[in-house]
């Protein structure tokens, strides 16, 4: 497992991740964490949790890593671990470790795979989840408004009919049962005071698509717990 320590990328020491898991009450994996600020806030607000930010672009996480490694009195959060990886190639230590997964305002391959229901992305998410672990994914719907960014052109819009008729079946084939889909204005989301909502300006006109799902267990509908590997 490659982790970010300050400005450096290093190999985690033997047993390091397992020790952190054993010391925590819950393992939350923030997939596509970007600059890891949301992961940092969640870790700071929940000191008994282990929050794992995962992103293939490790340089974006360095400033948050530097901040997290300070003394707690100066903003340090020892329960934050930043991992350099894509979810479709998650390190062995993460497999089956997550009590909860977050995909918050993704971009690039992660966004495309999440929305299209690509097997490598959804199976990758499933590979790190414990049975019955919840997944929350949020996407800003303004990306589908004109002028549509070139990277998004042709990407299906997240709507309830699309989720019900297309995406739910693809997710289920990868071991995820979609449980809800909601469209919420940013001002309403910010009022909830959740860590991910704070990425948005409360005065924004953005509408947030929130998809929730649960990882199928061995005796649940869909693939068994080991789906995706």
Percent of the chain's residues with pLDDT above 70: 87
What's the pLDDT score for residue 67? Answer: 94
What's the pLDDT score for residue 193? Answer: 35
CA–CA separation, 57 and 201 (whole Å): 25
Q: Which residue has the higher pLDDT, 199 or 223?
A: 199
Tokens encoding 162: 């699309």
pLDDT surpasses 80 at 215: yes
Owner of token pair 């309830």: 160
pLDDT surpasses 50 at 219: no
pLDDT surpasses 70 at 221: no
Residue range 181-193: average pLDDT? Answer: 68
Residue-wise pLDDT tens digits, 135-152: 999 999 988 988 888 888
pLDDT surpasses 90 at 59: yes
pLDDT surpasses 70 at 168: yes
What residues contact residue 215 under an 8 Å CB cut-off, 6+ apart?
126, 129, 130, 131, 132, 133, 134, 135, 175, 176, 225
What's the pLDDT score for residue 220? Answer: 38
CA–CA separation, 128 and 98 (whole Å): 6
Of 135-139, 152-156, 200-204, which range is least confident?
200-204
Of 13-27, 53-67, 147-161, which range is least confident?
147-161
Task: Quickly list DSSP for 29-42.
Answer: EEET-TT-HHHHHH
What's the pLDDT score for residue 206? Answer: 83
Percent of the chain's residues with pLDDT above 90: 76
Q: Which residue has the higher pLDDT, 24 or 229?
A: 24
Residue-wise pLDDT tens digits, 71-99: 988 989 999 999 999 999 999 999 999 99
Q: Which residue has the higher pLDDT, 217 or 172?
A: 172
CA–CA separation, 220 and 227 (whole Å): 12
């Amino acid at each position: 497992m490659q982790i970010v320590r300050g400005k450096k990328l290093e190999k985690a020491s033997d047993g390091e991740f397992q020790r952190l898991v054993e010391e925590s009450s819950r393992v939350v994996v923030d997939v596509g964490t970007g600059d890891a600020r949301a992961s940092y806030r969640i870790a700071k607000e929940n000191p008994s949790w282990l929050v794992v930010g995962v992103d293939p672009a490790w340089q974006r996480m360095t400033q948050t890593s530097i901040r997290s490694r300070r003394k707690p009195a100066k903003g340090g959060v020892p329960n934050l671990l930043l991992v350099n990886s894509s979810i479709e190639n998650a390190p062995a230590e993460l497999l089956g470790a997550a009590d909860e997964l977050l995909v918050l305002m993704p971009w690039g391959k992660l966004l495309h795979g999440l929305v299209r229901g690509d097997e490598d992305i959804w199976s990758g998410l499933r590979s790190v989840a414990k049975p019955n672990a919840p997944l929350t994914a949020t996407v800003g719907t303004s990306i589908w408004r004109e002028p549509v960014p070139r990277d998004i052109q042709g990407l299906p819009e997240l709507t309830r009919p699309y989720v019900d008729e297309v995406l739910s079946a693809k997710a289920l084939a990868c071991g995820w049962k979609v449980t809800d889909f909601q469209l919420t204005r940013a001002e309403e989301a910010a009022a909830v005071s959740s860590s991910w909502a704070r990425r948005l300006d409360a005065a924004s006109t953005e509408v947030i698509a929130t998809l929730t799902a649960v990882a199928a267990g061995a005796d649940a509908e869909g693939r068994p717990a080991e789906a995706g590997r």
